[in-house]
A and B are shown apart, each in its own frame.
Chain A
């Protein structure tokens, strides 16, 4: 097989050619670059030649540039420029090298001419041939030879002096020159060929080396692919191992490696920090079990031991104890590590301190509980407040409402879960309007859109009635960006009614025909009505700057503070006084003072009525009264007598009873037995000692006398008691008479009385009749030590009368278990004594007439007792009231008296 037959050789040949061509082109590029600079240098050389040899041409003193200089510049420039341009345009073309050869030879010819055919200049030809041989292209040598030969042929024939410097030269002298050129070329051409072949051979070798290198590289690459892959896997594993090592070293979790028995063989730094055990100390410890302590869950420990024994991992959370016995909560994760056979070779333990998390869980649990409580509290608050509350999210979904909202809005809060579902007939109307409010104008929807609504009044029209509601709504987000809203509804129907009433009242007060004042604790006016301003002649502002004493020149009190306290105590005081108008007019007034507290302050409402006319009328009435006095006295006396007789009659009943008791006591007295004893002693006076000693009757006599004596003593005591009662009743009669007498003249004696004593005296006075009718007396005295300052006999008169009436009612009704309950209570500064019976009661239609003079429901009554009692109660500053649920249901009379003495008793 020849070389050409070998495809590999062909491949090599092609590669060599390409490499040779490439290198030759690069070589030509370098030579071209050199030739370009050579052309420039030759141009300058030619100019230098011309300037040196023949710079100027002279005519006497005148001179000009020599034509050789111009020839060097122009012709030399054209030669060099042409060659440079050609090389630039066709750098890799073969003709470029031939052009260079031609130009170079022309340069030789020009230089020879410029030097006047100097033989030395011919060396340029040979130098140029040597330079051209750098191209290693023997063909351009031929071209150069031909060109220089032609030059010398032409110039040798037609202008020999230009070529050879002499004109007498042989026309064949060019052959000699050409022969020398050929001589040189004959050496240069083989040299070029040889060097070209050498380079080609080098290219061939380089190609072979590169191919061999390529093959080796391919084989190496093929064989190193696996190695690279293995290295890559090893690097990945190494990286992973390094990462894991970094994780194990720098993690906050305590990592421990154990043997197959769970005994620690390695721990990381975090383990030392967490447990306090040094690495060497930790070796040999049982993983997860070394830190158990007093409060460690034994079940968890047992579980861990079992899992380790079974070669299985586990995840536990337990209370561990470090080396310093400080407990901490630990999350322990233990995993077995098995070998290829599946046998457990070691365990890896990852432990983290979860104390903070545990504490957080406890806090969270407590917070959840608190939250639940708060939620419950809030829900209770929501349900308990009188306002309706609706809350919706940004989509209109109802997230919170209370029962009150449902009550006020009906089914709205219950039935609709989103804004799109809100009905148009929601039942909310504008105040005074008849059309439903559009949904987007509802307060809740405005709040959902970020608006705040205050005191929006609407009518909620329900089936049975309308209610006026005031709505306040605001967005849930504090920055008013919506995100839902909450709306609070308040039923202001009653408030509005009260407000209207107050307005009406205010209008009425302002337009009343009585002067009305509001006075503070300092006596200053804080409010007046129009009538007061008109009547006093002051403007409202002027009047509000005055005080009571400014207009009341002669007040019925010594000091305002005392008067204030009196009003404050009595709450309601009626006085008569005078005020002075701005015009100095003195007007008599009757002032009704009412003490009130409002808003934490104390005020007195004063209603001043002009009693000028009344005063006049009173004057007139006094005159008439004097006239009627005599007639009234007689009538009064008769009335007094009636009262006295009535009261005395009541007492006399008790006196009569006491007298009867005494009489029966004397009729049944043991005194007769004593007379029998006296007669027996008289009969046996001579032998009394023997009689007493020997006679059977005489022996019983001492004992009998003793019994009689005891009986007499008992009788004496009973009689004495009856006499005491009798004396009391007689004294009572005397006092009644005295009182009645004093009533006609002056008021009774005011003294401090204990309630318990009053009730005891009353029962004592009535005990005979009560005992006779078997009436049970029940006393309920709230405070036995309570006292009142009042007229004792008037009070007793009233109470005895009430007891008597109660007894009569029981007797008349023939009640099976008659009972009279006397109940005493103290309310504020007033004492109330109630007499309650379960007798016949009072007809409802007659209850209002019970205190009228002459009205009675009893068969034997006179209609004077309750009348006089009511008058007496009024005289004492109190009142007497009656109540009954009707016939057969008993009656209750209540005597209410002031506990303290009245400054000016009414009447």
Chain B
């Protein structure tokens, strides 16, 4: 009986400890935002932006940077798809897919890319070796930017509540407000996702 009680106690304690530790680790992992850098303020400052973005006048431009193989960004794609149904305008959505220099174009083919391609008005552009990403100052996959018709930055950050978790959140609400109701004041939000480029790049 003693050993049974002891075993049960140890078992339950181990179970709870494992559950708590796991929950802590997972929560920390999911809720820890990625660091962000100096984001490009105006698209006009971008070299060859017209060529790259093919921006249409009088429309907001949504630029999503992602790593094709980042699993967390798939939630961003899902969120974007769900949010796109509530768009009152037709913003130009450009998804810049990171592709290493030495990899072929098909390297970007992934579930996230396929999910993004399903969204209307989304154009996927290959970002060779993250060069465009560097021009925008973006380092984290899932980092989403909204530039107003005047090419000014309106929204910067992730549109998922936590890493890899899709769903509604204040960032996604702000994202929708900036698109449906353009505002002058830009807002910044935490980004949850993988790092697009390495530090040595």
Binding site for B on A (CB under 8 A): 53-63, 66-68, 71, 74-75, 78-79, 82, 85-86, 89-90, 95, 99, 102-103, 106, 110, 113, 116-118, 159, 161-162, 164-168
Contact = CB atoms under 8 A, between A and B. Distances in A.
B170 interface: yes
A823 to B, nearest CB: 145
B26 A58 contact: no
A74 B17 CA distance: 12
12 contacts: A53-B71, A59-B197, A60-B196, A74-B18, A82-B11, A95-B8, A99-B11, A103-B15, A116-B166, A161-B161, A162-B162, A167-B169
B198 interface: yes
B174 to A, nearest CB: 12
B38 interface: no
A166 B198 contact: no
B75 A78 contact: no
B26 A117 contact: no
B26 A116 contact: no
B69 A58 contact: yes
A802 to B, nearest CB: 154
A68 B69 CA distance: 15
A62 B100 CA distance: 10
Interface in B171-201: 173, 194-198, 201
Nearest to A110: B22
A151 B49 CA distance: 49
A65 to B, nearest CB: 11
Nearest to A63: B69
Nearest to B164: A116
A85 B11 CA distance: 10
A57 B194 contact: yes
A89 B75 CA distance: 42
A118 B165 CA distance: 8
Contacts of B120: none
B164 A58 contact: no
B4 interface: yes
Given A60-B201, A61-B198, A71 B168 contact: no
A60 B130 contact: yes
Interface of B: 4, 7-8, 11, 14-15, 18-19, 22-23, 25-27, 29-30, 67, 69-72, 74-75, 98, 100, 103, 130, 141, 161-162, 164-170, 173, 194-198, 201
Contact of A60 (B29, B98, B168): B98
Given A55-B71, A89-B7, A60 B198 contact: yes
A62 to B, nearest CB: 6
Contacts of A79: 15, 18
A63 B167 CA distance: 26
Given A54-B72, A59-B194, A60-B197, A161 B162 contact: yes
A379 to B, nearest CB: 100
A143 to B, nearest CB: 13
Given A78-B14, A116-B164, A167 B170 contact: yes
Nearest to B165: A116
A529 to B, nearest CB: 125
A75 B19 contact: yes
Contacts of A58: 67, 69-70, 141, 194-195
B69 A168 contact: no
Given A56-B71, A58-B195, 9 more contacts: A54-B164, A60-B195, A79-B15, A79-B18, A90-B4, A159-B27, A161-B167, A167-B162, A167-B168
A168 B169 contact: yes
A89 B18 CA distance: 20
A629 B158 CA distance: 201
B34 to A, nearest CB: 10
A116 to B, nearest CB: 4
A107 to B, nearest CB: 11
B167 A67 contact: no
Given A58-B195, A67-B26, A168 B170 contact: yes
A55 B27 CA distance: 18
B137 to A, nearest CB: 16
Nearest to A74: B22
A479 B7 CA distance: 85
Contacts of A90: 4
- Of the listed residues A63, A102, A103, A166, the one surrounded by the most CB atoms of chain B closer than 10 A to its CB is A166
* Minimum-distance CB pairs A-B, first 6: A54-B71, A166-B167, A165-B167, A75-B22, A60-B198, A59-B195
A167 B19 contact: no
A165 B79 CA distance: 11
Contacts of B141: 58
Contact of A75 (B8, B18, B98, B161): B18
Contacts of A89: 7
A901 B74 CA distance: 174
A61 B68 CA distance: 11
Candidate in B22, B27, B75 with the most chain A CB atoms within 10 angstroms: B22
Contact of B164 (A62, A68, A75, A168): A68
A102 B12 CA distance: 10
B167 A117 contact: yes
A162 B27 contact: yes
A110 B195 CA distance: 25
Contact of A67 (B11, B29, B67): B29
A93 to B, nearest CB: 9
